[in-house]
Amino acid sequence: MLKAFLTGDELDGKELNYLLELAELFKLKKFDFKPLKGKKIVLLFQKPSTRTRVSMEVGINELGGYSIYLSQSETQWSRGESMADTAKTLSLFFDAIGARVIEHKDLEDLAENAKVPVINALSNRYHPLQMLADLFTIKELKGKIKGIKIAWIGDGNNVCNSLILGASKLGSHLIISSPKGYEPSKEIIEKAITYSKRSLGSIKLIDEPKEAVKNADIIYTDSFISMGMEREAEERLKAFLPKYQVNSELLSLAKKNVSFLHCLPAFRGREVTGEVIDGDKSEVWRQAENRLHTFKAFLCYIFLKKKKLDNLFKKVS
């Protein structure tokens, strides 16, 4: 069983592909399958959420499990109880812990001390559940991930980091276009170079967005001011705007059938114009829906034995 899913890097290319196929079953075939019967999962959130929380709650419920949502302010964590003690306590009551934290280190402490799997529901550094939905959406739209050119425009943030880790294992061509000082971390880029060599993909950093989107199949952006970075708002907007905004002009430089992705929430007029996110190339609602299907696949993956999963495949595909 996967002990923790903190970055997205815990899964190799084969496992990712398997999960995406499983998610396809959940999306395309409506079947009554309750493998989580009797399983209890706690969702411990330190920051707001719309999509992650609801996809997790609905997904757990649809698979027959039971979830409890705890915001940090309602727990003793808000009064300084350590992550270690929190993890030990929650492990007594639950079969898994989903957590959204400000500092990734808190998630690592949680995982180190928990006796049950810990699932990252977003940290300042990674967003692996989002990555599963992103890869699934790209495959759904383009028929494959290998060879697909993904242009990430803007902040090299948590969503970008996990996407890079996953997409580079599946052979996509990643182009990252961020202002100086806002690129994804060196460690992630180095990993992606190694993974891309194996998967026959590639990763490049190109400062100029107009250059980066040339021939792109996918253009992806995220907020320039992530949760917790509000204090840096002014300097960030100065660094990103107007150059890194995804607008119609930028879109017109990509492939004709380019698709626009955004993990949401979006801030129209900043990282993307309303014309683009509400336009015909935008696939953000498909992407948001896919959070549910991929999370259900992920839950089965962590709770079911491989043999049981293979049987499920045979039965419904």
Q: Please list the active-site residues.
A: 100, 127, 130, 222, 263, 291
Residue 109 makes contact with ligand NVA by CB under 6 A? no
Residue 51 makes contact with ligand CP by CB under 6 A? yes
Residues 60 and 87: beta-carbon distance below 8 Å: no
Residue 52 makes contact with ligand CP by CB under 6 A? yes
Residue 271 makes contact with ligand NVA by CB under 6 A? no
Q: According to CB under 6 A, which one of 11, 110, 167, 263 is a site residue for ligand NVA?
A: 263
Size of residue set near ligand CP by CB under 6 A: 9
Give me the residues paired with residue 71 across strands.
45
Site residues for ligand NVA, 215-254, by CB under 6 A, read 222-223, 226-227
Structure tokens at 257: 């059938």
Residue 46 makes contact with ligand NVA by CB under 6 A? no
Residue 7 makes contact with ligand CP by CB under 6 A? no
Site of tokens 């995220």: 222
Measured from the CB atom, the residue of 148 and 263 that comes closer to ligand NVA is 263
Q: According to CB under 6 A, which one of 70, 141, 264, 302 is a site residue for ligand CP?
A: 264
Site residues for ligand NVA, 113-152, by CB under 6 A, read 122
Site residues for ligand CP, 84-143, by CB under 6 A, read 122, 130
Distance CA 23, CA 183 (A): 31
The contact set with ligand CP (CB under 6 A) reads 49-52, 122, 130, 263-265
The contact set with ligand NVA (CB under 6 A) reads 122, 157-159, 222-223, 226-227, 263
